[in-house]
A and B are shown apart, each in its own frame.
Chain A
Amino acid sequence: MKTLVLVWVALLALLAATAASSFVPLGGWNSAINLAISCAKALLVAIFFMHLRHAGALLRLVAVAALLWLGILFGLSSADFGARTISPAPWSLRY
């Protein structure tokens, strides 16, 4: 019960931090900070609210597998987008 309250307070504090950070111009770091804080919040929710702390290896594996597979989707697709030569059509709005 006490941990739950602490987690809740921590979540709200992180929310305040992420909201405040967006008013400080830091270039690319703004997104990095936002992403890191979101991950931290999601981890807090998963570990304490969703009981991953007490869960068996199997449930943890399921949780990690989902993230790993999202990582595959993001990683290999970005491998293309990051390394592509772009030859836009004359009418393209892009680039």
Chain B
Amino acid sequence: MATIPLASAEAGAERARLGMWLFLATEAMFFGPLFFGYVHSRLADSAAFASGSHHMHFWLGTINTAVLLTSSFTMAISVHGKERIRGTLGLTFVLGAAFLLIKGYEYGSEIPEVLAAKGAEQVFYLLYFAMTGLHAIHLLIGLGLVAWLFLSAHGRRAGTPVEIVGLYWHFVDAVWLFLYPMFYLLERYSA
């Protein structure tokens, strides 16, 4: 296996890439107990989970998924592009912020139902808030990183920092891809 000399820029990029992927692996394990807690609790009482899911805003959730997917798309274009990536970076930021605003509105409108919940439905809501909340925190960090790219010289042309932030952004997007059906789509037909 060839060893790369320490100083070159490509070596730095390689290190950063490996570091970010390792970090994402720990992130996946970090979400792990929540996902397993969800599977276990839902198998124990699927009726409570279905009725909890019926309180979710189906359309807002679906639109939000589309928004987030599109933000990943614009992020991918930024990484792919050579020059003038400010436009797509800015668009990524706007889409990410829109996601959080919609999510915030959902949270606000769900509070009365949450307070009325009992038993296993409470567990559903705890997992819902823990998982989407943790996801939102990650997205918020992502927004900060994108804003930093946009404002700094990195926004002028694609390079390693854009690529690394991109990896993180896509990972956060991928987590949501699982959360969406887990919370919004349970037994929709009987709602």
Interface of A toward B, CB cutoff 8 Å = 1, 4-5, 7-8, 11-12, 15, 18-19, 22-25, 30-31, 34-35, 37-38, 41-42, 45-46, 48-51, 55, 58-59, 62-63, 65-67, 69-70, 73-74, 77-78, 81, 93-95
From known contacts A15-B69, A49-B166, infer whether A70 and B181 are also in contact, taking CB-CB under 8 Å.
no
Interchain Cβ contacts under 8 Å between A and B, 6 examples = A45-B177, A48-B76, A51-B163, A74-B35, A93-B120, A94-B44
Bound state CA distance, A35 and B179, in angstroms? 10
- Beta-carbon nearest neighbor of B181 in chain A: A34
B189–A22 contact, CB under 8 A?
yes
Q: Tell me which residues across on chain B come within 8 A of A67, comparing CB atoms.
A: 28
Residue of B nearest to A27 (CB): B187
Is B185's CB under 8 angstroms from A19's CB? yes
Contact A74 B66 (CB under 8 A): no
Structural contact, A22 and B25, CB atoms closer than 8 A: no
Number of interface residues of B (CB under 8 A): 49
Given known pairs A19-B62, A73-B36, the reply for A11 and B189 (CB within 8 Å) is no
A32 and B173 alpha carbons, distance in the complex (Å): 21
Q: Which residue of A lies closest to B27 (CB)?
A: A66
Cβ-closest chain B residue relative to A35: B181
Q: Is the interface of A mostly helix, strand, loop or mixed?
A: helix
> How many Cβ-Cβ contacts under 8 Å join chain A to chain B?
120
Which residues of A are found within 8 Å of B70, using beta-carbon distances?
8, 12
Q: How far is the CA of A77 from the CA of B40 in the complex (A)?
A: 9
B11 contacts A by Cβ under 8 Å: no
Q: Is A4's CB under 8 angstroms from B177's CB? A: no
Contact B40 A81 (CB under 8 A): yes
Nearest CB on B from A30, distance (A): 7
Known A8-B73, A12-B70, A34-B182; further 13 A-B contacts with Cβ < 8 A: A1-B77, A7-B76, A15-B66, A18-B181, A22-B181, A23-B188, A34-B185, A41-B177, A42-B177, A45-B177, A46-B170, A74-B39, A81-B40
